[in-house]
């Protein structure tokens, strides 16, 4: 299986799925996005860093 990076739109969708309560598992998010679970696992740390950096940047004003 060839790996393709997820798009910015998919990152937004991933963030929305991750924010759902109760929290969805990586496997469930992958199923809904029609991606492999390892892709979701790889992207979550990147997404977390981006959200944290944006929050810190906005908080600094």
Question: pLDDT-based confidence at 56, cuts 50/70/90?
Answer: low
Residue spans per domain, the chain: 8-60
Q: Identify which has the larger pLDDT, 53 or 15.
A: 15
Structure tokens at 49: 């860093």
pTM above 0.75, yes or no: no
């Amino acid at each position: 299986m060839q790996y393709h990076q997820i798009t910015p739109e998919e990152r937004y969708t991933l963030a929305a799925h991750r924010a759902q309560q109760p929290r969805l598992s990586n496997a469930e998010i992958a199923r809904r996005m029609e991606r492999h679970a390892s892709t979701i696992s790889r992207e979550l740390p990147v997404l977390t860093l981006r959200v944290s950096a944006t929050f810190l940047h906005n908080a600094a004003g």
